Amino acid sequence: MHVPDDGRAAVMTQAKAPLRLIRYPLPELEPGAVLVKVTCCTVCGSDLHTWLGRRPAQTPMILGHEIVGRIVALGKAGTLDSDNQPLREGDRITWTLCASCGRCSFCRERGLPMKCLQLRKYGHERCDAPPHFVGGFAEYCYLFPGTGIVKIPEELPDEVVAPANCALATVVAGWEAVGLQTQESVLIQGAGALGVYAAALARHYGCRRILVTDVLEHRLVQVREFGATDTFNSADGTEAEIVQWVLERTDGCGVDAAMEVTGIPAVIPVGLKCLRIGGRYVLHGNVVPGAEFSYDASDIVFRWLTIRGVHNYDTRHLRKAVQFLQSTQDAFPFGKIVAHRVGLEELGEGLHIAQSGQALRVAVVP
């Protein structure tokens, strides 16, 4: 496969500023590294947080981590995918948003490679030094050794697979963290991309009641196509009304498990009050510093509640996400998640569309 000497990237130089199209030379590959030609990258909510200046970022940087592409070059010594199979030029892949060292205590002993002491995160690193291509809003991406790589079945379109990393893989990790079981009832706070995937997974796992709240009516309509049994527009109700709505649909007990994917700390007390005795709560969305909330700790103690925070995911979660898409592609309309497509030149427009909430995901096609 012919590989040129350089490639384009849409570079963020400062918060809220237009992205700059810059050409960088393609890097030499270290042993175990992979160079990928990007074919699709979707805009994640965390990309927006960074671009809008809601959280600190080291600029210049190339945003984007929900990426699909084809291998164009491999470093010496070869590289294996997540199933321990050799990778080859031309393979169509997606990969974890993090590269881990595999040697530190979080990688080897604590089962948290996504919190590696030497973590590298795609779409979060400076790009002014080689290998430059460390984000998805570019024509190429350099995969560091320690990246979990998953081959993609050819029948799955790029735009269906790209949000699996990280939206779908993240909620796979979240439901795993609270041990979601068949026949349980769940509350999902937020009907964005993570909420849609959370509902579809809950339906796939055999949950009997899947309750979803959001403030945008068109999202609540859409999430029903992905398994939600009941929806409530929380813009129209008080905290007490939301709790009562949940109790009426769970025999007065509350849900077995709840998931927060709004990024709004004010919804957390509501979610906790909607749990049954012994219920479990997982938080995903509040990734911006300063997300504080107030709650009566005695309620957590008296009702034996469990609260889990889950940030990012492991390779197994991404592999399960792709397998889920493959096994349920006829059950859910995954093709509707991406509603807009832009090239690198129109990426500024794409970010504004994503920010507006018009689409669950915007695809960037270099």
The answer for residues whose C-beta is within 8 angstroms of residue 198's C-beta and 6 or more apart is 171, 174, 175, 186, 188, 259, 261
The answer to whether residues 61 and 125 touch, using CB atoms and an 8 Å cutoff, is yes
Q: How far apart are CA 132 and CA 126, in angstroms?
A: 8
The pLDDT score that the predictor gives to residue 250 is: 98
Global confidence as pTM:
0.95
Can you tell me whether residue 65 is helix, strand or coil? coil
131-178, pLDDT tens digit by residue? 999 999 999 999 999 999 999 999 999 999 999 998 999 999 999 999
Tell me the pLDDT tens digit for each residue of 201-213.
999 999 999 999 9
- What pLDDT does 236 receive? 86
pLDDT class of 1 with cuts at 50, 70, 90: low
pLDDT tens-place string over residues 41-75: 999 989 999 999 988 888 999 999 999 999 999 99
Asked whether the predicted pLDDT for residue 311 surpasses 90, the reply is yes
CB 90 within 8 A of CB 45: no
- For residues 357 and 211, which has the higher predicted lDDT (pLDDT)? 211
Query: Could you count the other beta carbons within 10 Å of the beta carbon of residue 127?
Result: 22
- Residue 348: what are its φ and ψ, rounded to 5°? -60, -45
Q: Name all domains of the chain by residue range, CATH numbers in brackets.
A: 6-166+313-364 (3.90.180.10), 168-309 (3.40.50.720)
Compute the mean pLDDT over every residue in the chain, rounded to the nearest whole number: 95
In the predicted model, what is the mean pLDDT of residues 97-104?
Answer: 96
Please list, in sequence order, all residues whose beta carbon lies within 8 angstroms of the beta carbon of residue 37, skipping any fewer than 6 positions away.
69, 70, 71, 72, 139, 140
